[in-house]
Structure 1
Amino acid sequence: MNTTKPVLVRAADAEVLSASGVTLFADVPDTDGHLTSHRSIFKPGKEGAPPHLHKEAAELFFVLTGSLRVLTGDDVITLTQGDFLVVPPNTPHAFEAAGDEDTEVLFVLTHAKPRFDYYRLLESVYQGTTAPAELAKTSDLYDNHYVESRAWQAR
């Protein structure tokens, strides 16, 4: 797709992955290599992602509703509605719903590799049709590298 024109994704046309709570908006090929974006809804107490980093991509978080506990490096912070965070490449991060209500977050990754197939794979893990170990095999393909974090374990 040539991005000399706007990229419009109507809500009715967005792909929804119901088991994982992810709605896919636009991926790297759709934006001529510029970004990938999706929305996630996390149920209270549901981990969004374990500690990981992206070697190439920066990740933007914008909390639409609720609150989100986020690991950034060695710090664990809580974002609430309207908060904006950008995690630079090579920074360990993780996130989970922090309150007693659903948390809705808009994510944008820049300088990213195409990621929609990663979210589809993740969906199959949530559905129980794919073993979680399969995700680890895709680290380089999707620039999603799992790491250990004492700060996240101590939360």
Structure 2
Amino acid sequence: MKTTNAIATVTANGQGRKLNILGHSVTIKLQRKETEGNYYVMEVITPAGHGIPPHVHSREDEMIYVVEGNFMIVLGEQQIQAGPGDEIFFPIGVPHAFQNIGDKPGKTLWTVVPGGNFEDFFEELNALPADREPDMGKVIEIFANFGMQVLINAPA
């Protein structure tokens, strides 16, 4: 019988560690300690018109399940509209971005594999001031420190 140090966990609706990641309300559902770093699961509430800039990962795959709302997804060279029930897979090395194109907040469920890197990445993004637009130079630096490249230039 295989043994594991993973922790059997139930994270109830509305429960989990709450973070503000670049204006998104993020609730961590499963973190590194529970999954031995194998994956990381989070619920993300994205305000209308808001998104994440184009970027590419060198260490993780990401999967998004759309629970509520409508999103424009950039997946490599493709632009795809995604709505409730749609699942999107962003493999390592494929540039991607997303934006809530609806008129109300959208809800997505994200799984990141492996998940060990993401917890520290999110802690650094969460530490940025939430009361103003983020310093994109600092955001780009944080992404780079965790093996991700933002595909826009920092303002001069």
For the criterion TM > 0.5, the same-fold answer is yes
Matched-pair identity in %? 20
The residue correspondences of 1:60-79 to structure 2 (distance < 5 A) are 60-79=63-82
Structure 1 residue 128: Cα displacement = 4.4
CA distance in 1, matches of 2:89, 2:115: 14
CA distance in 2, matches of 1:141, 1:113: 14
Amino acid at match of 1:91: V
Measured against aligned partners, the alpha-carbon deviations of 1:22-61 in whole angstroms (never above 9, x if no partner) come to 11122234311210111111111112x1000111211001
* Residues matched between the structures, number: 147
Q: Closer, same or farther in 2 for the Cα pair 1:66/1:76, shift >3 Å? A: same
Match of 1:117 among 117, 120, 126: 120
SS in 1 for 2:107: strand
CA contact (8 A) 1:24 1:116 kept: no
RMSD, aligned CA? 2.5
CA contact (8 A) 1:70 1:95 kept: yes
CA contact (8 A) 2:25 2:45 kept: yes
CA distance in 1, matches of 2:99, 2:40: 20
Amino acid at match of 2:126: E
The residue correspondences of 1:78-117 to structure 2 (distance < 5 A) are 78-117=81-120
CA distance in 2, matches of 1:138, 1:123: 11
Amino acid at match of 1:38: M
Instruction: Specify every segment of 5 or more residues in structure 2 that has no aligned partner in the other structure, as ranges.
Output: none
Residue 8 of structure 2 corresponds to: 6
CA contact (8 A) 2:30 2:42 kept: yes
Instruction: Specify every segment of 5 or more residues in structure 1 that has no aligned partner in the other structure, as ranges.
Output: 149-155
CA distance in 1, matches of 2:138, 2:87: 31
Structure 1 residue 98: Cα displacement = 1.3
Runs of 4+ in 1 over 4 A off after TM superposition: none
TM-score (norm: length of structure 1): 0.81
